[in-house]
Amino acid sequence: MVAADWWVWWCDGFVVLLLKCGCNRRRFKFAFEFADGFVGANGVIGAMGLFWKSRYTFPLTVRAGFGLPSLTGAGFGPKPLRSKDLGPVGSILDFVVSGLITGLRWFESAHNRVLCSSCLNFVRVAPPHYRCPSVTSTALRTVVAAVPLMLRSFFLLVPLGVPPSQSLCPVSCPGQLSGLLPSASPNRGDLSPPTTFLFPRATSFPNALIRPYSLTCTCSHHLLAFGYEGCVRVGPLRPPCTTTTTTPSSSFLPSFSSPHSQTVVSARLRLTSLKIMEGCKGTQVYALNPSNPPPPGVGDKLLHHLQDHLRANSIRSKSNRNYPPPNMTVPNVVVVSDDLLRCGLPGTDLLEPQIEPCLKSVDFVEALADVHRRIESCDQFEKSRLYLEQCAMFRGLADLKLFRRSLRSARQHAVDVHNKVVIAAWLRYERREDELIGYSAMDCYGRNVECPKASLVSGYDPESVYDSCDCYRGCREDVENDGVLIEGEEECSTSEEDGDLSFCIGDDEIRCIRYKMALLSRPFGAMLYGEFKESRREKINFSQNGISADAMRAAEIFSRTKRLSWFNVHIVLELLSLANRFCCEEMKHACDVHLASLVSDMEDAMLLIEYGLEETAYLLVAACLQVFLRELPSSIHNPNVMRFFCSSEACEKLATVGHASFVLYYFLSQIAMEEDMKSNITVMLLERLQECAVEVWEKQLAFHQLGVVMIERKEYKDAQCWFEAAAEVGHIYSLVGVARAKYKRGHKYSAYKQMNSLIADYTPVGWMYQERAMYCVGKEKMTDLKTATELDPTLSYPYKYRAAALAEEKKIGAAISEINKIIGFKVTPDCLELRAWFSIAQEDYDGALRDVRALLTLEPNYMMFHGKMHGDHLVELLRPHVLQWSQADCWMHLYDRWSSVDDIGSLSVVHHMLANDPGKSLLRFRQSLLLLRLNCQKAAMRSLRLARNHSSTEHERLVYEGWILYDTGHREEALAKAEESISIQRSFEAFFLKAYALADSSLDPKSSMYVIQLLEEALRCPSDGLRKGQALNNLGSVYVDCDKLDLAADCYMSALNIKHTRAHQGLARVYHLKNQRKAAYDEMTKLIEKAQNNASAYEKRSEYCDRDMAKSDLSMATQLDPLRTYPYRYRAAVLMDDHKEAEAISELTRAITFKPDLQLLHLRAAFHESMGDYVSTIQDCEAALCLDPNHSETLELYNKAKERVNEH
């Protein structure tokens, strides 16, 4: 029996396998673990040479282009080793080895075991092998025949991913290879597998992607196992163009001294997708240095930038930790992070505009005016439903305060318990109190509008909804009642003298008063006083009615006392069943109320809702629903909760109790879409939503959102049907979804015609041209995108497409300039991600890291590069290539960026500081301030909640809770929190919060003086320069309002001394009020120089110059930030002064189309009124009042216009 001994030798990224003959039967092995073919952890095929030696150890060389091993030394010249050189032994050996390996592979595959080459025991593989379905039997036969083919000059390719520190590591050495192979974790790329391999001349490799596993046998021998997980297509190799001679020095191998030097061909495999099947379709093996390389696209260019500029640090970082053997030559091999190799690149073909999952009107002003008219004219009990419709309209706007205000109005005018419960829970969810540590679902913040107890009280009382609730009153009453009940327990039972009727249940006899029992319900009255035999009996057998003696005794007590407080839950549940059976409405209501008051947590709700549904207990089910809804979003991931909502049967059960409604499923579906747009729960909730839809707008919303979800799930046929249904009931925007679904199904021309028809039939808006651009090419596409930007500059897709197109033309600088246009006024993670890619391509790693940190602040779980890499991982990859900062350096840079009004840069620095100190509440608070400046309200509220959770003191926690309340529209509660904090400890933030909340309203002189005192107290408390600068700036503003200009100027100068750059604006205002117009202009110029591309600075400077210069500044302000409304109003006013009424109206209309602002609508209404167009005046006033019902000037103009219309 021929035996072999073998070692794995690691040298410069490839494996050399040595075999030598021996006669030890125990050591008989032919590399069984390698017989299936070698494939590395990342699907890269590497090289392994097997050769035979009869008695001596000979050096091995590989001849480039031939792939034939040759033997040199000991009198042998270079010649190929073939089977016939071994004579008959070679043929027999081929046959025997093939049979052995075929049987062994079958056994291992069937039983998930691998043969230990040391003790010949079988070791179980965990996780087990997975065979790719695309691996054919032919491919498997090729695999199992690998070893005999290797004996015929066949070479398999293998990179093992072993770091250089594991050089000279034989596999048989215990502990050397354990854990070195990539695991199943998503961060496998950290091992940086090698990319230098030996190649044969021509080989047909099996289409099997094999996953390596590191195992340990009971004999402490370390094994390698490979499991099928997918497949990889291996194409023909390009001819090598470089030759590298590697001469390892070891006791195991003699030096390579043959004139036939070893040829190493470098290869790189680029995976285009993380998904296995996509990898099967598109993965290729390429030579690193092909003789005729194809022209690289923008993706390849960016990738090469990443490789070239990450190379140096990769080599440095590894060389610092791992030292090669002294006689080993390490080649200059580029090792790039495998994660980056998988990344998608910013190409125009991968960009698509998002279909918004909300109501979107072609004429938004008309829709606003219509809903306001109906709210004003409807019955008071219908207002809640109309305010909910208004909520749906505001959902698509950037200002979340409008949505929350309408939602509060819907709760204010709610009549029934169900609507109160749902809307109150929704209001709580909007504040995301579930993220606040220490808060429970049933906690009340002190107002009836969200009080869980007040929500369970039916009735219409809009005036008291914002009053303070007394959640402890019920507790005090219960204590008093408990005393009374205990005192009266002695006389609960009816005495023999008083009772004139007995109910017999088993051996128990319950004495009752006949007429009291008869009053419980009409069936009891008929039984006890009707024509039945029981009416003449003193004892009635009640044993067959399924009620216990205790429950009957409780019913008798209730008939006299009308109270249930001292009975336990089980007795009350029996009473509820008895009340249902005998139609005891009063007792049922009492049981319902009592059981509802006992529901306080999820456990109670899960236990009692089944009884409530079975016994149709309206309040009990409402109380259970309230717990479920106030536990959102966590409860949406609880299948035991969702079973009460998702299915049609569950919806029918809720409907029988009066708790299946559109508002309920609207709330649930919105949260489900935010959590996971593609989940089955989302689909089921939306299906229930459309089943509950009755009004036209409800059907529009439900159908449209189902279409959006189906598009996300790539179910395009169903998506088209839902979008068409939404369009049929009047939602024009859903035609965009119809076109998109057609396009996805391959009907591009049909989609183009659809959008053409839409543009022709309606007044064009930006999203129409944006969508049509999807189905155009060339100049027509760019023209549509330009038109879309002109009509609606807030649409991000045109900027992103133009930037990506410029990048494809290798105009990276122009691409960054294009994407900067929208980032300047609308910061979104996708745009920041795109700019980060461009920065990497420009070798600007500082800029890339800045943008990645900023987008992670906006969305901490953001997945970059088309969902293939977490943003935090890219931060770690980029960090070694930028200058490292200490915490002191970070503070210095934060001051610099804050003073230069670089909010994105400041966010990046704060994110960096929080990475080093994540529990710093002060930094979280600074983060929230920056996010509010960038109009990122949702992210700002999340940072505020984190600041509150990480606060170390009570007074600090109260301040952050106050800011949360203030930002969600609860000004009075915020003031109370500030005062409570001050009572504990005087602090800058507590005084500042109180002053800020008071200054929010119109101040009389007395109130202004009080605000000044508060700000002065704040400045006396310790704080950093950033916050003190803001306090000084605010103090100066109050002094200006009080006409104390000198004091205001002093405040602004003090703020400027500590680098609060925005104080230039306040100082300019002081100069202007002092009639120093030139000084005011110069002051604003200083602000523009320090805060580049600041639209607000140009806008303010326009107030201090002549008309022509003002037009220039306002034009620049609009270019930098199209959302600022003052420039439009100024230009429109100038046009009106020049008697160009139509052009003035057009200027305002252009802005109102994409930003329906109160001031713009009011000004256009005034223009219409001056032109005698009172109908248009009324419409604009109604739309403006929909945004702010209490705007006095608009109300006055509205009433005046209505009077004029009535006169005519």
Domain ranges of the chain: 3-289, 364-464, 1125-1208
Of 362-371, 486-495, 793-802, where does mean pLDDT reach its minimum? 486-495
Other C-beta atoms within 10 Å of 1069: how many? 23
Residues 485-498, mean pLDDT to the nearest whole number: 47
Question: Does residue 271 surpass a pLDDT of 70?
Answer: no
Provide the pLDDT for residue 556: 86
pLDDT single digits (tens) 23-32: 333 333 333 3
- Following CA atoms 995, 997, 1003, 1004 in sequence, which dihedral angle do they give, to the nearest 10 degrees? -60
pLDDT single digits (tens) 387-416: 999 999 999 888 889 999 999 999 999 999
Provide the pLDDT for residue 269: 28
Among 289, 293, 305, residue whose Cα is nearest residue 346: 305
Provide the pLDDT for residue 27: 33
Tell me the C-alpha distance between 188 and 180, whole Å.
Answer: 11
Q: How confident is the model at residue 123 (pLDDT cuts 50, 70, 90)?
A: low
Provide the pLDDT for residue 493: 53
What's the length of the chain? 1208
pLDDT single digits (tens) 972-997: 889 999 999 999 999 999 999 999 99
Q: β-pairing, 539-541 with 501-505?
A: parallel
Question: Does residue 450 surpass a pLDDT of 80?
Answer: yes
Distance of CA 1204 to the CA centre of its chain: 52
Provide the pLDDT for residue 539: 81
DSSP state of 170: -
**Three-state secondary structure of 903-926:** HHHHHHHHHHHHHHCCCCHHHHHH
Of 97-106, 452-461, 590-599, 940-949, where does mean pLDDT reach its minimum? 97-106
> What CATH number does the domain located at 1125-1208 have?
1.25.40.10
Among 912, 907, 902, 904, residue whose Cα is nearest residue 872: 912
pLDDT > 70: percent of the chain: 69
Tell me the C-alpha distance between 459 and 453, whole Å.
Answer: 13
Coil, strand, or helix at residue 232? coil
Residues 671-692, mean pLDDT to the nearest whole number: 96
Tokens, residue 205:
């490799």
pLDDT single digits (tens) 227-259: 433 333 233 333 333 333 333 333 333 333 333
Residues 956-962, mean pLDDT to the nearest whole number: 95
Distant-in-sequence, close-in-space partners of 915: CB < 8 Å, separation ≥ 6 = none
**Average pLDDT of the chain to the nearest whole number:** 76
Residues 762-786, mean pLDDT to the nearest whole number: 95
Tell me the C-alpha distance between 556 and 503, whole Å.
Answer: 10
Question: Does residue 1078 surpass a pLDDT of 90?
Answer: yes
| Phi, psi angles (nearest 5°) of residue 229 | -125, -10
Convert 419-452 to b/e letters by CB count within 10 Å (16 or more is b).
bbbbbbbbbbbbbbbbebeeeebbebbbbbbbbb
Q: How confident is the model at residue 178 (pLDDT cuts 50, 70, 90)?
A: very low
Of 172-186, 537-551, 659-673, 1089-1103, where does mean pLDDT reach its minimum? 172-186
Residues 957-982, mean pLDDT to the nearest whole number: 93
What angle, 0 to 180 degrees and rounded to 10, lies between the N-to-C axes of helices 937-949 and 845-858? 80
Question: Does residue 864 surpass a pLDDT of 60?
Answer: yes
Structural contact between residues 68 and 153, judged by C-beta atoms closer than 8 angstroms: yes
Q: How confident is the model at residue 419 (pLDDT cuts 50, 70, 90)?
A: very high
Residue found by looking up tokens 């010649």 in the block: 79
Provide the pLDDT for residue 916: 87
Tell me the C-alpha distance between 239 and 228, whole Å.
Answer: 29
| Phi, psi angles (nearest 5°) of residue 599 | -80, 115
Provide the pLDDT for residue 284: 31
Q: How confident is the model at residue 92 (pLDDT cuts 50, 70, 90)?
A: low
Question: Does residue 151 surpass a pLDDT of 90?
Answer: no
Q: How confident is the model at residue 82 (pLDDT cuts 50, 70, 90)?
A: very low
Tokens, residue 786:
């330009």
Of 491-500, 655-664, 1085-1094, where does mean pLDDT reach its minimum? 491-500
pLDDT > 90: percent of the chain: 53
Burial class (CB in 10 A: 0-12, 13-18, 19+), 506: exposed
Provide the pLDDT for residue 917: 87
Provide the pLDDT for residue 674: 94
Most confident range (mean pLDDT) of 313-327, 333-347, 865-879 is 865-879
Provide the pLDDT for residue 310: 42
Q: How confident is the model at residue 98 (pLDDT cuts 50, 70, 90)?
A: low
Among 1152, 1153, 1166, residue whose Cα is nearest residue 1196: 1166
pLDDT single digits (tens) 725-747: 999 999 999 999 999 999 999 99
Question: Does residue 329 surpass a pLDDT of 50?
Answer: no
Tokens, residue 854:
């900023």
Q: How confident is the model at residue 43 (pLDDT cuts 50, 70, 90)?
A: very low
Question: Does residue 1187 surpass a pLDDT of 80?
Answer: yes
Residues 549-553, mean pLDDT to the nearest whole number: 88
Q: Got the DSSP string for 436-464? A: STT--TT---SBTTT-HHHHTS-S--GGG
Is 513 or 377 the better-scoring residue by pLDDT?
377
pLDDT single digits (tens) 53-70: 333 333 333 323 333 333
Is 305 or 1100 the better-scoring residue by pLDDT?
1100
Q: Is-above-0.75 flag for pTM?
A: no
Tell me the C-alpha distance between 1168 and 1145, whole Å.
Answer: 8
Residues 1090-1099, mean pLDDT to the nearest whole number: 90
